[in-house]
Chains A and B, each alone.
Chain A
Amino acid sequence: MSDFRRFLVKRFAIAAALTLIAVSIIFVVLRMLPGSPFEALITAGNLSEEQVNEIMGIYGLNKPLWQQYLSYLKSILTFQFGYSILRSRPVWEVLEPKLVNTLVLLVPALVTTAILSSLLGMYVGWNRGGKLEKASIIVTTFLRSTPVFITAIIFVILFSYTFGLVPAFGMREVTASPTGYLDTYLSTDFLHHYILPFSVAVLYYSGDFLLLARNGVVEKKGSEFLKLHRAKGLSEFEQLARAGRNSMLPILTYFALRLGMIFQGLILLEVVFAWPGIGRALVLAIQQQDYPLVQAAVFIMALAVIIANLLADVLYAYFDPTVSTSGGGAA
């Protein structure tokens, strides 16, 4: 097990280094951007030069670059994201509810699709060459390869504008003013708004899980160990269960990876549905040049991917003894 421990230490070190490099790149890219959020305010006549200089001082934007970089590193790695320039509120206060909105939409969608699509995938993989297999492959390939915003637009046209079943955008009615998360999410109004983006997310991710499960079962079906089970006289269903269990590992690791990519993966979905999530907030912040907000949002997204990658690697190494714990990460 000491091998495994060394592997763990190495993976953690790599993850830490990646985080450091990623935040440095974000810093460099943001400092390369021309213009500042204050320009708009000056030209609009809302601020005078002196006031701007004063504010620049508060934000530390007039210090030498290396000092800015160090204080930036210190603050971002301790999750002190500073103040949103445009909204004049702490960045975290702006982002937190948005982050929760994104997670509330996507985590249940991902869990649902992982379970349903994997089961369907195992089934069609077992009964290879059937009509159901062909149909499910066409449908999920379409859903997986078409950019998610197109699927979303088609769904909105169909279910909101044509049949008038669900609202086309937003998370709550404009008039609703809930207080706190429970009040926000536990309402029929919310559910009404939720169902369409949720369905699109479920369908969009279904293809990957279906194909992974199918391919896993197809590969296992002819393998030695199933012959053994057959010789043992296990029923068809029991064999499928065993084959399924053995193709769970790629699905599990894939799930971890997807979870990490979730924030950036559905920026477009949030834009189409005007879902007040972190992805949409990021697009708006980029357009308004609200750097502290952009910085924090991109950092959260990068961190999620790094942690998910680490998790997937560790899961893989832990559950699959055939993977050597030296060398690169499990893909």
Chain B
Amino acid sequence: MSTDTTNGAVIFERIDTWRTILKDQFDFIRRDNLALVGVIIVATFVFLGLFGPMLAPHNPIEHDMKTEEGSIMRLSSPNAKAPLGTTAYGKDILSQFLAGARPTLIVGLFGGLGTGAIGFLVGLVSGYYGGGVDEVLMRLTDLTFSLPFMPMALLLLTFVTPNIWLITLIIAGFLWKMPARVVRSEVLSVRERTFVKSARASGASNLRTMFFHVAPNVLPIGFLYTAYGVAWSIAAQASLAFLGFGDPTMTSWGRMLRMVFDSGNIRIAWWWVFPPALGIAAITTSVFLIGRAYEEVINPEIEIES
């Protein structure tokens, strides 16, 4: 690390290093087949989340599929009219699958961003200031660790009608603890480096040092955990929906799985199970594969939770 004395130069150097890191990772992703496949799947998923509901041939909840004779087409395997078959209630599975991508994307994206942002800020402030601030913030983190997420989320969702924004909020409110600890331990080591000390010595304020000198160096980990946060949020949302605590007004992949499981049709209706199940599995796995590729580059203290 160089010890430039002028602030501006230091910042530019930080940004430059950071840019190099990003570029390295980009090249790395291109070289890493797994991550590349992951990126393609994530891109497809984002596309589905944005345009899926428009692409759906029928309304996923309102529309009843009819057979030639005009009766409701129940539990039909894939056919010309319904390429992915129909549910026990005569709904088109392809439409449900396409429409169901949106809530899954919304919760995943915002849950991940919320998780990453809150965790990053808490970890940054906690690690940088140390002492009492650190103690308070870390005990708060401990507390979120000791409140079991799933039961608490179920309880909270029993006295308010679940909607996706609320679910997103609950998820982010519980998951920020993951990045917080990792970012904090990174900050602790960055804080001791020469360029940070010289910034402080040359009279930069605490806030300035924290955001301009320390933060850029731990940003990659913030991104990594934001990505993981996306996967965790999708998994958590799907799990809640599967238990019957999803947004009742929207079709989501998790809710489709609840419907098929509750109606006792997983024994026969494979066409009803596999689209949402594989959709969720593909997206969460992809995010993690991309994350792994990054991790090889950043190599933070690897700490895995689910």
| Chain A interfacial positions (CB closer than 8 Å to B) | 14, 17-19, 21-22, 25, 29-30, 32-34, 134, 137-138, 141-142, 144-147, 149-151, 153-154, 156-157, 161, 168, 207-208, 211-212, 215, 254, 261, 263-265, 267-268, 271-272, 282-283, 286-287, 289, 294, 297-298, 301-302, 305-306, 309, 327-329, 331
Query: Is there an interface contact between A30 and B155, defined as CB atoms closer than 8 Å?
Result: yes
Query: Is there an interface contact between A328 and B134, defined as CB atoms closer than 8 Å?
Result: yes
Q: Can you add 12 more A-B contacts, CB < 8 Å, to A145-B306, A268-B239?
A: A18-B146, A29-B152, A141-B285, A150-B277, A215-B302, A254-B304, A264-B150, A294-B151, A302-B146, A302-B147, A327-B134, A328-B138
Chain B, Cβ-Cβ closest to A254: B304
Of B46-54, B89-97, B266-274, which binds chain A? Answer: B266-274
Query: Is there an interface contact between B148 and A286, defined as CB atoms closer than 8 Å?
Result: no
Contacts of A305 in B (CB 8 A): 145-146, 148
Chain A, Cβ-Cβ closest to B182: A331
Q: Which of the residues B159, B243, B267 comes within 8 Å of A271, measured between beta carbons? A: B243
Of B76-84, B105-113, B286-294, which binds chain A? Answer: B286-294
Contacts of B301 in A (CB 8 A): 331
Instruction: Tell me the interface secondary structure of chain A in the complex.
Output: helix
Q: Which of the residues B34, B143, B159, B288 comes within 8 Å of A144, measured between beta carbons? A: B288
Contacts of A328 in B (CB 8 A): 134-135, 138, 184
Q: Which of the residues B148, B156, B239 comes within 8 Å of A301, measured between beta carbons? A: B148
Query: Is there an interface contact between B151 and A297, defined as CB atoms closer than 8 Å?
Result: yes
Query: Is there an interface contact between B285 and A145, defined as CB atoms closer than 8 Å?
Result: yes
Query: Is there an interface contact between A331 and B146, defined as CB atoms closer than 8 Å?
Result: no
Chain A, Cβ-Cβ closest to B276: A150
Shortest B110–chain A CB gap in Å is: 18
In the complex, whether B169 has a CB less than 8 A from a CB of chain A is: no
Report if A264-B149 is in contact (Cβ < 8 Å); known contacts: A138-B34, A309-B142: yes
Query: Is there an interface contact between B242 and A268, defined as CB atoms closer than 8 Å?
Result: yes
Contacts of A283 in B (CB 8 A): 154, 243
Contacts of B135 in A (CB 8 A): 328
Jot down 22 A-B pairs with beta carbons below 8 A, ordered by A.
A22-B147, A29-B156, A33-B159, A34-B159, A137-B292, A138-B34, A141-B292, A142-B285, A144-B306, A145-B285, A145-B287, A146-B281, A149-B242, A150-B280, A154-B277, A157-B266, A157-B273, A212-B302, A286-B151, A298-B148, A298-B152, A328-B184
Query: Is there an interface contact between B158 and A286, defined as CB atoms closer than 8 Å?
Result: yes
CA distance in complex: A325, B273 (Å): 51
Chain A, Cβ-Cβ closest to B279: A150
In the complex, whether B235 has a CB less than 8 A from a CB of chain A is: yes
Query: Is there an interface contact between A150 and B257, defined as CB atoms closer than 8 Å?
Result: yes
CA distance in complex: A209, B47 (Å): 34
Query: Is there an interface contact between B143 and A22, defined as CB atoms closer than 8 Å?
Result: yes
Contacts of A207 in B (CB 8 A): 304
CA distance in complex: A264, B239 (Å): 12
Shortest A5–chain B CB gap in Å is: 19
In the complex, whether B261 has a CB less than 8 A from a CB of chain A is: yes
Instruction: Tell me the interface secondary structure of chain B in the complex.
Output: helix
In the complex, whether B58 has a CB less than 8 A from a CB of chain A is: no
Query: Is there an interface contact between B288 and A25, defined as CB atoms closer than 8 Å?
Result: no
Report if A161-B159 is in contact (Cβ < 8 Å); known contacts: A215-B302, A298-B151: no
Query: Is there an interface contact between B273 and A331, defined as CB atoms closer than 8 Å?
Result: no
Contacts of A141 in B (CB 8 A): 285, 288-289, 292
Query: Is there an interface contact between B139 and A14, defined as CB atoms closer than 8 Å?
Result: yes
Contacts of A137 in B (CB 8 A): 34, 292
Query: Is there an interface contact between B243 and A150, defined as CB atoms closer than 8 Å?
Result: no
Shortest A291–chain B CB gap in Å is: 10
Contacts of B185 in A (CB 8 A): 331
Contacts of A264 in B (CB 8 A): 148-151
List 7 A-B pairs, minimum CB-CB distance, nearest first. Answer: A264-B148, A301-B148, A328-B138, A146-B281, A145-B288, A145-B284, A331-B181
Shortest B146–chain A CB gap in Å is: 5
Shortest A256–chain B CB gap in Å is: 13
CA distance in complex: A237, B159 (Å): 58
Report if A286-B302 is in contact (Cβ < 8 Å); known contacts: A141-B289, A146-B280, A263-B148: no
In the complex, whether B69 has a CB less than 8 A from a CB of chain A is: no
Q: Which of the residues A147, A261, A289, A302 comes within 8 Å of B280, measured between beta carbons? A: A147
Query: Is there an interface contact between A208 and B149, defined as CB atoms closer than 8 Å?
Result: no
In the complex, whether B303 has a CB less than 8 A from a CB of chain A is: yes
Interface centre among B273, B288, B289 (most CB of A within 10 A): B288
Chain B, Cβ-Cβ closest to A29: B155
Contacts of A297 in B (CB 8 A): 151
CA distance in complex: A265, B156 (Å): 18
Query: Is there an interface contact between B277 and A153, defined as CB atoms closer than 8 Å?
Result: yes
Query: Is there an interface contact between B270 and A157, defined as CB atoms closer than 8 Å?
Result: yes
Contacts of B171 in A (CB 8 A): none
Shortest A164–chain B CB gap in Å is: 11
CA distance in complex: A300, B284 (Å): 30
Shortest A96–chain B CB gap in Å is: 18
Contacts of A21 in B (CB 8 A): 143
In the complex, whether B231 has a CB less than 8 A from a CB of chain A is: yes
Contacts of B150 in A (CB 8 A): 264, 267-268
Chain B, Cβ-Cβ closest to A25: B147
CA distance in complex: A22, B181 (Å): 20
CA distance in complex: A276, B121 (Å): 41
In the complex, whether B187 has a CB less than 8 A from a CB of chain A is: no
Shortest A146–chain B CB gap in Å is: 4
Query: Is there an interface contact between B273 and A153, defined as CB atoms closer than 8 Å?
Result: yes
Shortest A176–chain B CB gap in Å is: 22
Shortest A315–chain B CB gap in Å is: 15
CA distance in complex: A145, B228 (Å): 9
Query: Is there an interface contact between B304 and A208, defined as CB atoms closer than 8 Å?
Result: yes
